[in-house]
Amino acid sequence: MRKSDYDRNYMKNNCRVYRLQLNKEKDKDIIEYLDSLDNVNGEIKEVLRMRAKHVRAINMIKKNAE
């Protein structure tokens, strides 16, 4: 198997791509922040994991309060 075929198969079976579109005017603050980072992908994953943990905790509290 050629490396390009292997890479394509790996991506198809193990990865998911999400696209983010930002407006140059309305989202200027976000664009400037992301442009300042060395690892945009890592930062986005870290922020999403923190948010998901927060939401799960809130949902658990709500569920226990019922």
**Can you tell me the mean pLDDT for 34-40?**
98
9-34 pLDDT per residue, tens: 999 999 999 999 999 999 999 999 99
Local confidence band at 66 (pLDDT 50, 70, 90 cut-offs): confident
pTM, full prediction: 0.77
pLDDT of residue 2: 87
Please give the full DSSP string across 5-54, using - where no structure is assigned. HHHHHHHHHH---------TTTTHHHHHHHHT-S-HHHHHHHHHHHHHHH
Amino acid at 64: N
CB-based contact 34:43 (threshold 8 Å): yes
Q: Which residue has the tokens 């939401």?
A: 55
Query: How many Å apart are CA 8 and CA 5, to the nearest integer?
Result: 5
Taking the domains of the chain in order of start, what are their residue ranges? 24-66
**Can you tell me the mean pLDDT for 35-52?**
98
